[in-house]
């Protein structure tokens, strides 16, 4: 994998802004590490719901996170907003790997990076199941858009 | 006290926007009640820090919340943003009562209302102490601005 | 209402212990105020589910919080545990008022107190509806147990 | 690395119990993924503070998390408690790798596993600095205790 710090906003499929909260800061005066994961989780889920149109509370398949890796490069503190970027990294038969990055407003420095492995399971079976068509179409479209750039690297 | 549902954005001293998070929704699909308090806390503290210039981590006095009353009028859910309005209700010698209200974008319906009693204590003594001058100046300015309107009601 | 600081563990209908978390502490080194509400919410809901046997995700009625008032008397910090006590204060036709108090282990000093007004609404109608029989039976049983003591005051 | 699901409580240096909260459950009725990280963070920090005696709010060095990887093997829901185990995996000059695992009471199945890379930085310099002696002594003691067992595997 490329060093995540080389990523820029334009490398991603989605960008949203989140506000921080007073309670996000820990005793050391910066965002608690679990808050980063809340922010990545929020950006990923909001994008997924909007793009795929899938309501996981009723859909026959659910996407559950199997692994999340967060790398913390610099500190962020309340007050202020953060930009959260999301992109599709790759797909498997029953899972997708997403990446997310956190930027401060007006900066292209990656503050933190998340690799997020999501597995689809049957609502009833609780066993892995192929990525639903509506989601796969979104992932494929994102990967196709980025392919030419990746091909040159 | 007036019915808080009669309040409008223009009745407040400050207005900010907050983003909701995936994890804010509880099992019933709407914002958990403690999240409302996080949002009120955030709006009140951000406004106080910005207006008074007091850094409570080092100031000789700290403002601590003595009582918070939240009234929930309707439901809010992730995704989406909320507007949080803050105003000074009244001041005492060592405490201030603030009010905050939560609105949905584009609506003047009060979704939830908070009455927030903040007491100032000495950093070392941990006992009530008069409102710091920098904070009192802000509270008085806010109350003065609103006086004419209140006088007619 | 009696001064909540006069309450003791024996005045309540339920008592449970909760662990605090690193992220509960705010920049001032003590539990953020919204965390108190999370703890009260948790104790109230765990007790309600266990005693009434109602699963609100599927029941025809839902109990939603209409108002929560928290009074903060002293500070609590991670690490450590807290005891959370819950009791029924009074019932109406469509609502119940509960009280909860937070104690430190080995102490009878009330650290914080919560008055919690819960209204029952129809799952579909979203309008107030009478307290479900299974819940009312629990509330009545609790109030009956406490009646003799209250009568002398 | 060994498959984390082969780990048992006895493989760890510390074991603590945490209570879950109503608000930990997300819309799908199980613990939100960021809550797992809060629980790992809590267990790691409580153990570190207790064993090393270092108060990071005033110490010349601070331990900051550089990377956290969580693997989720099965689902956990409020209500109930979880056991969180912590151990030292290996040390470098300026960093330590810890592992944590979440177990359900009475079970040796690993529900979730966390690899936690902590880097020590100077309070003022914000640059990597050698592991403080008090912390290194704890890490070395833990690794020494486990060495014979590892040697036989």
| Chain B residues in contact with A29 (beta carbon < 8 A) | 57
Nearest neighbour of D34 by CB, restricted to A34, A62, A75 = A34
Is residue A74 assigned to a domain?
yes
**Sequence-distant (≥ 6) Cβ neighbours of residue D79 within 8 angstroms:** C46, C49, C50, D20, D22
Is residue D152 assigned to a domain?
no
Query: Sorting pLDDT into bands at 50, 70 and 90, what band is A146?
Result: confident
Yes or no, beta carbons of C19 and D22 under 8 Å apart: no
Give how far D35 is from chain B: nearest CA, Å.
9
Give how far C71 is from chain B: nearest CA, Å.
4
For D57, name the nearest residue in chain C, comparing CA atoms only: C29
pLDDT for A87 equals 97
| pLDDT tens digits along D79-93 | 999 999 999 999 999
The pLDDT of B124-149, averaged and rounded, is 89
Whether B47 and B16 have beta carbons less than 8 Å apart is answered as yes
Residue A68 contacts D, CB cutoff 8 Å: yes
pLDDT for B133 equals 95
pLDDT at B152 over 60: no
The pLDDT of A106-111, averaged and rounded, is 96
| Chain B residues in contact with A79 (beta carbon < 8 A) | 46, 49-50
Measured CA distances, B7 to B12, B102, B103, B110, D78 (Å): 8, 10, 10, 7, 37
Yes or no, beta carbons of A79 and B29 under 8 Å apart: no
Query: Sorting pLDDT into bands at 50, 70 and 90, what band is C148?
Result: low
pLDDT for C65 equals 95
| pLDDT tens digits along C88-146 | 999 999 999 999 999 999 999 999 999 999 999 998 998 999 999 999 999 999 999 87
Please give the Cα distance from A146 to B87 (Å, whole number). 48
pLDDT for A147 equals 55
Residue C55 contacts D, CB cutoff 8 Å: no
pLDDT at B153 over 50: no
The CB density around residue C115, as the number of other CB atoms within 10 Å, is 18
Return mean pLDDT, chain A.
92
pLDDT at A153 over 70: no
Yes or no, beta carbons of C27 and A32 under 8 Å apart: no
Is residue B71 assigned to a domain?
yes
Query: Sorting pLDDT into bands at 50, 70 and 90, what band is C147?
Result: low
Please give the Cα distance from D64 to D120 (Å, whole number). 6
Q: Tell me what percent of the residues of chain D surpass a pLDDT of 90.
A: 84
Residue A58 contacts D, CB cutoff 8 Å: no
| Chain D residues in contact with A28 (beta carbon < 8 A) | 56-57, 62
**Sequence-distant (≥ 6) Cβ neighbours of residue C115 within 8 angstroms:** C1, C67, C68, C69, C89, C97, C98, C99
Residue B27 contacts D, CB cutoff 8 Å: yes
Interface test with B, best of A19, A40, A43, A63 (most B CBs within 10 A): A19
pLDDT at D148 over 70: no
Nearest neighbour of C28 by CB, restricted to B27, B34, B56 = B56
The CB density around residue C117, as the number of other CB atoms within 10 Å, is 18
**Sequence-distant (≥ 6) Cβ neighbours of residue D47 within 8 angstroms:** D13, D14, D16, D86
Tokens at B132, concatenated: 């710091």
Give the residue with greater pLDDT, C49 vs D2. C49
Give how far A33 is from chain C: nearest CA, Å.
9
- Torsion angle defined by CA atoms of residues A9, A17, A84 and D45, in that order, rounded to the nearest 10 degrees: 150
Is residue C153 assigned to a domain?
no
Question: How many independent structural domains does chain B possess?
Answer: 1
Please give the Cα distance from C137 to C128 (Å, whole number). 19
ipTM: 0.93
Yes or no, beta carbons of B23 and A38 under 8 Å apart: yes
Please give the Cα distance from C27 to C29 (Å, whole number). 5
Give how far A23 is from chain B: nearest CA, Å.
7
Whether A31 and A78 have beta carbons less than 8 Å apart is answered as yes
pLDDT for D29 equals 87
Return mean pLDDT, chain D.
92
For D26, name the nearest residue in chain A, comparing CA atoms only: A57
Q: What is the CATH number of the domain that holds A54?
A: 3.10.129.10
The pLDDT of A76-95, averaged and rounded, is 96
For C77, name the nearest residue in chain A, comparing CA atoms only: A27
Please give the Cα distance from A122 to A56 (Å, whole number). 11
Query: Sorting pLDDT into bands at 50, 70 and 90, what band is C2?
Result: confident
Is residue A152 assigned to a domain?
no
Nearest neighbour of B22 by CB, restricted to A20, A21, A41 = A41
Residue B66 contacts A, CB cutoff 8 Å: no
Whether A18 and A39 have beta carbons less than 8 Å apart is answered as yes
Enter the pTM of the model. Answer: 0.93
Backbone torsions φ then ψ of A108, nearest 5 degrees? -105, 10
DSSP element (H, E) containing B110: strand B110-122
What are the DSSP calls for C59-88, one per residue? SSEEEEEEEEEEEE-S---SSSEEEEEEEE
Q: Which of A128-142, B30-44, D46-60 has the lowest mean pLDDT?
A: D46-60
| pLDDT tens digits along A14-73 | 999 999 999 999 988 899 999 999 999 999 999 999 999 988 778 899 999 999 999 999
β-strands D14-19, C110-122 pairing: unpaired
DSSP element (H, E) containing C90: strand C81-91
Whether C57 and B29 have beta carbons less than 8 Å apart is answered as no
Chain C, window 114-143: residues with a beta carbon less than 8 angstroms from a chain D beta carbon:
none
| Chain C residues in contact with D22 (beta carbon < 8 A) | 38, 41-42, 45-46
| pLDDT tens digits along D41-75 | 999 999 999 999 888 778 899 999 999 999 999 99
Yes or no, beta carbons of A35 and C23 under 8 Å apart: yes
| pLDDT tens digits along C23-74 | 999 988 899 999 999 999 999 999 999 999 988 778 899 999 999 999 999 9
Residue B46 contacts A, CB cutoff 8 Å: yes
Cα–Cα–Cα angle for C42, C43, C44, nearest 5°? 95
pLDDT for C121 equals 95
Is residue B107 assigned to a domain?
yes
| Chain B residues in contact with C95 (beta carbon < 8 A) | none
Yes or no, beta carbons of A25 and C25 under 8 Å apart: no
Domain that holds residue B132: 4-147
| Chain D residues in contact with C49 (beta carbon < 8 A) | 79
Is residue B83 assigned to a domain?
yes
Give how far D11 is from chain B: nearest CA, Å.
32
Give the bridge partners for A98, in sequence order: A88, A116
Burial letters B89-125, b for 16+ CB under 10 A, else e:
bebeeebbbbbbbbbeeeeeebbbbbbbbbbbbeeee
| pLDDT tens digits along B77-103 | 999 999 999 999 999 999 999 999 999
Give how far A40 is from chain D: nearest CA, Å.
10
Residue B29 contacts D, CB cutoff 8 Å: yes
Residue carrying structure tokens 């995996």: D89
Is residue B152 assigned to a domain?
no
Whether D87 and D21 have beta carbons less than 8 Å apart is answered as no
DSSP secondary-structure letter at C25? B
């Amino acid at each position: 994998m490329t060093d995540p710090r080389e990523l820029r906003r334009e490398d991603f499929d989605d960008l949203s802004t989140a506000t921080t909260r007073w309670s996000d800061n820990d005793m050391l005066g910066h965002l608690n590490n679990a808050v980063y994961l809340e922010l990545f989780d929020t950006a990923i889920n909001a994008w997924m719901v909007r793009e795929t149109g899938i309501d996981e509370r009723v859909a026959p398949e659910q996407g559950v996170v199997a692994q999340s890796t967060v790398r913390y490069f610099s500190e962020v503190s309340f007050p202020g907003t953060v930009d959260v970027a999301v992109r599709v990294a790759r797909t498997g038969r029953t899972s997708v790997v997403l990446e997310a990055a956190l930027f401060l407003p007006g900066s292209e420095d990656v503050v933190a990076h998340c690799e997020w492995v999501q597995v689809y399971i049957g609502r009833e079976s609780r066993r892995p199941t192929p990525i639903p068509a509506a989601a796969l179409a979104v992932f494929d479209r994102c990967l196709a858009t980025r392919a030419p750039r990746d091909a040159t690297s």
